[in-house]
Structure 1
């Protein structure tokens, strides 16, 4: 199947859905910006030039350079990685009425991940009459180093995404998509990226709706408050001792890309081992830009969120988010339980003189059920869920107060497709008695080709139907409800909070997500402020 975009002609492939054999079309590895190499390293993306001949969009693009934690930390990818994939439910020439467009931004802590169909297959969503786009963007220091100079202004990964959105606006009609009905959605770092686009004036007009899955800008891991310090720290890891940002960038541009990745990874691991906290360990994340012209982020998230433009939004979390977070620290589990001080110190602004009392109160609250293995893991799951996701509520209140419709959910289905459960079940089977870990909901929106022997039971199939129907209804109309949905999902307001609980059935719950943990931490912070 051949289409013609502004940059030239390209040809894709026909595929079949694993669910029911539904045929759809994939256009893989389409370049949307010039390769960010050589002098373009650390600089904002430059739109792609026209190409000659017919571009073969039949092979998934290389991920942006990274260590793949899902594949034994294998070194994968390329610095030339600014590509996207387009999936359409019919031959574009046969689509007479343009379809709603959904653009997905992957997660991975700004350190890893990609748009790969092995993880984000379109097999489910193509049954729901939308056009889907998945996007690669630069990661770690290559995407988020910010030295406050023209050669390295910061937030290149977010600007990559924005450039992809611009390409989509210009070209998606050629694939049967409606450029005036675009929903951007993402998970974890991808969700906080979507939230940054909602806040940035540079992305205005590039999308109409947003879906935030387990991430907002106010999550501690979504923002770097000391980017220049981290930049010089990166330099020291590579033997650069000067304090001139221009000299540092010239030095880094001459470094092999593997050296930069290795130094970034070592920075992450060293801090993680010292602080026992994911957020504090992420060295390169979105940050405020000091060069104000064409700046993507101009202020801290707390200030920007207060004036968020009205954008219809779905936002939610999984009930056991913290399980995956602390599983990455399993080898430190005894040490963490023995002394929670590093966890608390590096995620909150308590005075050193207050830490002992705060830690004692935290232990009493979270570890009240004793010290058995299952009780300890449950307590640490709740603690890390609250630490890394409890700021969800004040942030979504700002969205609700913008007068845009807001739908809030909690995903808590414990099914046989849950990726964390399937990949870690054998060594830690006792952890998965209930609930959904961070990222588990993704397997019910995207067919997980990389998951060994995916199991589609009756309940799993129903959850897929519900998730895909809710998400695509919202993308089409701004309202997730419809005839095939068994319950009315009412909008959330700051005065009357409610959320949709998504399990093997749907249930509307009155009240706030993370209400219990949020109340505890609010009291603690007020007591020790």
Structure 2
């Protein structure tokens, strides 16, 4: 049962076997619909103390009416250290497994959209994604928090630190949604998962995990990631755990059990600082594929991922009857190329024309985690992404467009295409592919940091698509100009109609967005004007191709 309080500003829901929640209201941005919101609702118990690194436990019932008018505390992450040190927060920093639910009709049975945030598996929270855009349509939005960094991903593959804990968090959250979403006006038989970056990779893991039963979700939208990306997997989880423990102060000769006991009880911030220090060191010295502590693992103790999704795809073990939307932003590579540029500039190597001319492409491949022992990959990249004049220039700026394509393809575009290709094998009339190409007034390039020193701009940057699904900054939905508002209305239509019927539609969709019919298309270019492409591999060279057209 659900009810509303004084002037509908204090809605109350009663959850079977749990207790009552008091929410609050907000307003949709274009038609001022009343949104009932229940924020920071626990789906699991605290993971502090002996529960650290353990599978999540269902939240216990409570008495009375629980306040759900404020966002839950973000899961611990080094970036928010100053936030966590504030006195406004509860002392239990690991009590963060919450969902936030948004609905415009608590008595309906509407499609449910569950958003899984990105952030490289070590950053992010639910409060950055609110409902003022999406709830212009008749859906229920749920945003989920899961453990981040080593608290959610460290693994020794034993009962003490089993691995993939964050994926178990998400699974428990989906079970909670199945049990309770009807009290918020949602239909548990029509649940769509959508996630961006690491959130999309997490959805792939959920799709292919034998521990996730059918029926927890029914459609998926993957934005800017696939699980085959080199930044998704920890190839040496026990070694990573030991390296983090040693940095945090553990004796280097400690036994596995002693090391696990140390990690179980070490201070959160010491643990997170040690993880981040190791992450930076290994990225620079060995490449993104050698980072650990914030990655999925195969062969975890509880069998959540006995193998990678890519292995399941090759074996044809693909979940049937799951419609999929999948796509990227046009210039995904600018996101990490900033880190690449800063590193090689700091070492002085970008000031060496000989290094830039002969070794930069190989060095970038290694940095990004792309294995190339024979040099074949680098050779193909040099042939397809750069002109002879650009390569001979010895100047990073002349190579920027090709490097944008290189980084975007390795980290995001190629792994994303694999996901869509696999799904279309068993769901041939229900797999929709897109590239988000729209350049609006805002960009997430640099994520607020100064970008003026880079010899390239952000283009259609990683996560720019989210600007048209969720207000940015959060809670400021009125900030879009006329053209950007039109794009947001189109995006909201496409995403919510797919969640409703499994087919993305809109009165503003001026072309026929057909499902994937072959290995690389067709696919929709989300831009003005809208258009269709036939060969998604053209997105792998889009920046360098456009540069050549301009010259």
Cross-structure match for 2:523: 499
Cross-structure match for 2:502: 478
Cross-structure match for 2:117: 106
Cross-structure match for 2:77: 66
Further displaced range: 167-176 or 456-465? 456-465
3-state SS in 2 of match to 1:51: coil
Q: 2:436 pairs with 380, 393, 411, which one?
A: 411
CA distance in 2, matches of 1:513, 1:187: 21
Would the aligned equivalents of 1:110 and 1:285 in 2 still touch at CA under 8 Å? yes
1:268-417 maps to which residues of 2 (within 5 A)? 268-275=279-286, 277-281=287-291, 283-291=293-301, 294-306=302-314, 307-310=317-320, 311-334=322-345, 335=349, 338=356, 339-340=359-360, 341-345=362-366, 347-351=369-373, 354-355=374-375, 359=378, 362-363=381-382, 365-368=384-387, 370=390, 371=393, 374-389=397-412, 390-403=414-427, 405-417=430-442
CA distance in 2, matches of 1:344, 1:99: 46
1:427-446 maps to which residues of 2 (within 5 A)? 427=452, 431-432=456-457, 435-446=459-470
Structure 1: 5+ residue stretches without partners: 521-529
CA distance in 2, matches of 1:175, 1:65: 28
Q: CA deviation at 1:282?
A: 5.0
Q: CA deviation at 1:74?
A: 8.8
3-state SS in 2 of match to 1:448: coil
3-state SS in 1 of match to 2:206: helix
Q: CA deviation at 1:79?
A: 1.7
Q: CA deviation at 1:201?
A: 2.4
CA distance in 1, matches of 2:47, 2:181: 23
Q: 1:177 pairs with 175, 186, 200, which one?
A: 186
Cross-structure match for 1:22: 33
1:73-152 maps to which residues of 2 (within 5 A)? 78-90=93-105, 92=106, 95=107, 97-116=108-127, 119-152=128-161
CA distance in 2, matches of 1:415, 1:474: 24
Q: CA deviation at 1:89?
A: 1.8
Q: CA deviation at 1:22?
A: 2.6
Would the aligned equivalents of 1:417 and 1:455 in 2 still touch at CA under 8 Å? no
3-state SS in 2 of match to 1:68: helix
3-state SS in 2 of match to 1:201: coil
Cross-structure match for 1:527: none
CA distance in 2, matches of 1:469, 1:213: 16
Q: How many residue pairs get matched? A: 505
List per-residue Cα deviations over 1:393-430 (Å, max 9, x = no partner): 23321111012510001001111133227835762586
List per-residue Cα deviations over 1:202-254 (Å, max 9, x = no partner): 22220000000011111111122221111111122123223633222111112
Would the aligned equivalents of 2:171 and 2:212 in 1 still touch at CA under 8 Å? yes
**Over aligned residues, Cα RMSD in angstroms?**
2.7
TM norm structure 2: 0.85
Structure 2: 5+ residue stretches without partners: 1-10, 545-551
Would the aligned equivalents of 1:68 and 1:113 in 2 still touch at CA under 8 Å? no
Cross-structure match for 1:460: 484
TM norm structure 1: 0.89
CA distance in 1, matches of 2:475, 2:450: 13
Q: CA deviation at 1:80?
A: 1.4
List per-residue Cα deviations over 1:255-314 (Å, max 9, x = no partner): 111111010010111112324x444435421111343xx421111232122311121100
3-state SS in 2 of match to 1:220: coil
Cross-structure match for 2:218: 208
Cross-structure match for 2:235: 225
